[in-house]
Structure 1
Amino acid sequence: MKRLLYLSLAALMVACSSVDCPVDRTVATLYQIRTSDGNELTITDTMTISTVNVDNENVVLYSGRDSIIYNKGVGISQFNLPISYSHPEDVLLFKFEIANTDSLVRDTVWIKKDDYPHFESVDCNTTFFHTLTNVRYTRNYIDSIVINNPSVTYDSKTVHFYLYPKSDD
């Protein structure tokens, strides 16, 4: 009888710790490039995106402390970008190499968000999900960026932002 009790207790402990953690635990934003008419647009210009370190709320350090998070995308209509876990605002530097010219156009995008921990099990690491609260940007290449879905989770198919480049008209 005692042996049966120990075996039952051991089986219960094993059963409690067999929670499957998600395999793809990437939390990122999805951008879709669109025309002013709202149709999906494939850009022919080459796009590189960097993020910068922020020491204070208002001080951005540009001197060699940036990280490329999207490198030389061309012929794209959508792209994914990671999002920070520990900053209330992400700063993104967009660089566009204009096709068939030697021109470079740069824009800066600031994304404000609220971060909240997402807990699945004691066996899994805590992940942070986000609620997008505001986006602002310079307007050199980008005409506008609109938040489509403010909830950033594991869902990699949900479009979070619509990016509208300036038209050539």
Structure 2
Amino acid sequence: MRKLFHFFLAGVVAYALASLLFSCSEEADCSMTDNRGMIVCNVSQINPENNTAMKDTLDSLTVTAAGTDSIVANRLAQVTVFSLPLRYAVDSTELVFHYVKKVTDTVVIRHTNKPYFISMDCGYQMQQSITSIRYTRHNIDSIYIANPEANINGTKNLEIFY
């Protein structure tokens, strides 16, 4: 009887240890999925002497989401590069660029939204790709799509010429 009790106790301890060891999983590293993909915009102008692109600077820029009270970028000063988000729920993002003296430009970015599964712990992330752009020409001369894929690594997506 005593041997049976020791055997039973050893089995319970072994079961508890096995359960503890095999039930612990590594903590998921979702650091690469916590960041939202953005489009990076460079401010440029065309050099009239040789017709090439050169860096430019905007004195002031505020960007709002059209039709809402959301401010995407507030009072940026001496702007040469800035980042903008794209909307997840629809296939276009309409932004209003506010410059000094109440001058504005509206930029409509058409894009695709493709969710892809990362893992059970991290969920999914949205792949977004720019398909076309429409814009007013109050201050903007033209917009060139350098890389259509929104990203988290700072790669230039749009070159905006003034």
TM-score per shorter chain, which class? 0.7 to 0.9
> Aligned to 1:39, what secondary structure does the other structure show?
strand
TM-score w.r.t. the length of structure 1 is: 0.77
**Contact 2:61 / 2:79 at 8 angstroms: preserved in 1?**
no
Q: Say which structure is richer in helix.
A: 2
Q: Give me the whole-angstrom Cα distance separating, in 1, the residues matched to 2:114 and 2:16.
A: 40
Q: Is residue 116 from structure 1 mapped to residue 114 from structure 2 by the alignment? A: yes
> 1:5 deviation in Å?
5.9
Q: Give me the whole-angstrom Cα distance separating, in 2, the residues matched to 1:14 and 1:135.
A: 49
> Aligned to 2:115, what secondary structure does the other structure show?
strand
> 1:162 deviation in Å?
0.5
Which residue of structure 1 aligns with residue 27 of structure 2? 18
Large movers: runs of 4+ above 6 Å: none
TM-score w.r.t. the length of structure 2 is: 0.80
Which residue, out of 83, 86, 93, partners 1:83? 86
CA RMSD of aligned residues (A): 2.0
Q: Is residue 161 from structure 1 mapped to residue 158 from structure 2 by the alignment? A: yes
Q: Which has the greater radius of gyration? A: 2
For residues 1-22 of structure 1, the C-alpha deviation after alignment (integer angstroms, 9 at most, x for no partner) is: 855466445433323x522111
**Where does structure 2 lack aligned partners over 5 or more consecutive residues?**
1-9, 47-51
Taking every aligned residue pair, what percent have the same amino acid on both sides?
Answer: 27
Which residue of structure 2 aligns with residue 56 of structure 1? none
Q: Give me the whole-angstrom Cα distance separating, in 2, the residues matched to 1:147 and 1:161.
A: 5
Q: Is residue 142 from structure 1 mapped to residue 140 from structure 2 by the alignment? A: yes
How many residue pairs are counted as aligned between the two chains? Answer: 146
Q: 1:78 to 1:13 in 2, by over 3 A?
A: same
